[in-house]
């Protein structure tokens, strides 16, 4: 994503905001901020904000976000981030928050010079595991007022995540990326088949409905503050100094610790042993708790991948002039690709149906979800070939 070119009006807006909140900034209480003593550098932005690196007098540098539209997931992403940073800052695992202007939807935090993890040049190694375990242990101790402020309930079980988040998001994506005259909402035959399978399967699973009163009375061991986009791109890690920070908390929520770990595992292609090592170092869990967390990770992973597959497919269909909805509806489209991936996916779907149909060979949740994951991995390969 490219940086945007800053306008004169934008510059004036930033200077006005900074002067209004300068009492929150170090060493600037008595300094008037003007164009002559400030440098504003636009940075690549997120999906809902414009980002800036701002150099102030007396060597102060801050990172500013300005929300320009509502998030797809939350109406107040920068406020969620600010509330989370206020609590986490004393633990020295996040940037220090300076101020949040609710009316103008502007957040200013400390600018960190520690580089983000580069998966190609400096991939995550096991040396980071103790820091990650400390972080997740810290998130488990989030105070009740913060939990109450952030809790949405959509990530406490795979079933809730599927019905409260994934399926509504799929419906919205379909409506936004329809191309062609048929008006059909079938994006891709195999994806629809996987969706039907997961819906049927998850409908039969036990569910958890946690009211606020229940959380107050007895917080479950697995209930954590969640980052919700936990991946190496949001981790600043210096292997030499061991400095470790997590940034971009605008989607902070509360739910099962397995969600962040599953997301991390998928996004960074981490091994099960790597994730297990993090879990084993959590001080508040028993061996039985750790097994349950791993089981929930296995359940969450394909659901996260499924949502991502749909999003990628929507973007592809919407942006490509060479393809339309009608082409994407037929299996011949996938069968034309190398290595007969279409047949591989069809085979995987048949195996999935057979596993679920016959009780005599009905596997446990982990085996069944692994089959879904395998099928979705074939889809990933297919999307790269398109």
- DSSP per residue, 214-254: HHHH---TTEEEE-SS-SGGGEEEETTTTEEEE---TT-EE
What separation in angstroms does the CA of 182 have from each of 186, 341, 382?
Answer: 10, 26, 24
What is the pLDDT, as a whole number, of residue 178? 53
Using CA atoms, how far apart are residues 107 and 64, in angstroms rounded to an integer? Answer: 6
Which helix (H) or strand (E) segment is 31 a member of? none
The label of the residue with tokens 């695992």 reads 93
What is the pLDDT, as a whole number, of residue 180? 43
| Cβ-based burial of 89 (10 A; exposed 0-12, middle 13-18, buried ≥19) | middle
Question: Closest Cα partner for 303 from 117, 169, 128, 134?
Answer: 169
Question: Closest Cα partner for 101 from 9, 189, 212, 16?
Answer: 16
- Tokens at residue 256, please? 């099962």
Q: Map out the domains of the chain with their CATH numbers.
A: 8-81+95-110 (3.30.200), 126-385 (3.90.1200.10)
- Confidence tier at 342 by pLDDT (50, 70, 90): low
Q: Any residues with CB less than 8 A from the CB of 60 and at least 6 apart, and which? A: 25, 26, 27, 28
- Confidence tier at 323 by pLDDT (50, 70, 90): very low
Give the CA count within 13 Å in the CB-facing half-sphere of 142. Answer: 31
Q: Give Cα 151 distance to the centre of its chain.
A: 16
Arithmetic mean of pLDDT, 376-383: 72
Which helix (H) or strand (E) segment is 255 a member of? strand 253-256
pLDDT at 264 over 90: yes
The per-residue DSSP string of 343-365 comes to HHHHHHHHHHHHHHH-GGG---H
Q: What is the pLDDT of residues 356-373, one digit of tens each?
A: 765 545 567 788 888 888
Q: Which residue has the higher pLDDT, 144 or 207?
A: 144
Residue pair 82/254 in contact by the 8 Å Cβ criterion = no
pLDDT at 325 over 70: no
């Amino acid at each position: 994503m490219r940086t945007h070119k800053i306008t004169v009006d934008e510059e004036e807006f930033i200077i006005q905001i900074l002067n209004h909140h300068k009492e929150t900034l170090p060493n600037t209480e008595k300094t008037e901020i003007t164009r002559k003593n400030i440098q504003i550098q636009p940075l690549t932005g997120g999906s809902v904000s414009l980002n800036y690196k701002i150099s102030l007098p007396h060597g102060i540098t801050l990172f500013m976000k300005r929300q320009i539209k509502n998030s797809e997931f939350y109406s107040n992403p920068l406020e969620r981030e600010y509330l989370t940073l206020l609590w986490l800052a004393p633990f020295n695992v996040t940037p220090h928050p300076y101020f949040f202007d609710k009316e103008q939807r502007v957040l200013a935090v400390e600018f960190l010079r520690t580089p983000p993890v580069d998966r190609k040049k400096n991939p995550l190694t096991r040396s980071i595991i103790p820091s990650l375990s400390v972080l997740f242990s810290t998130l488990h101790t989030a105070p009740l007022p913060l939990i109450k402020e952030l809790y949405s309930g959509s990530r406490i079980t795979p079933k809730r995540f599927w019905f409260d988040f994934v399926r509504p998001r799929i419906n919205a994506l379909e409506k936004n990326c329809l191309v062609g005259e048929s008006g059909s909402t079938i994006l891709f035959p195999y994806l629809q088949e996987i969706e039907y399978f997961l819906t049927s399967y998850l409908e039969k699973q036990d569910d958890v409905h946690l009211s606020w009163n229940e959380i107050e009375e007895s917080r479950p061991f697995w209930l954590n503050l969640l980052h919700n986009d936990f991946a190496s791109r949001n981790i600043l890690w210096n292997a030499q100094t061991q400095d470790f920070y997590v940034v971009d908390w605008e989607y902070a929520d509360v739910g099962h610790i397995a969600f962040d770990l599953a997301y991390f595992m998928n996004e960074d292609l981490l091994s099960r042993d790597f994730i297990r090592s993090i879990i084993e170092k959590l001080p508040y869990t028993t061996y039985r708790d750790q097994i349950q967390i791993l089981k929930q990770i296995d359940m969450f992973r394909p659901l996260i991948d499924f949502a991502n597959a749909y999003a990628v497919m929507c973007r592809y269909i919407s942006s490509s002039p060479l393809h339309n909805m009608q082409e994407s509806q037929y299996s011949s489209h996938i069968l034309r690709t190398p290595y007969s991936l279409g047949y591989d996916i069809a085979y995987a779907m048949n195996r999935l149906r057979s596993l679920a149909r016959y009780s005599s060979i009905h596997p446990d949740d982990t085996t069944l979800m692994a089959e879904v994951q395998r099928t979705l991995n074939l889809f990933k390969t297919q999307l790269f070939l398109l």
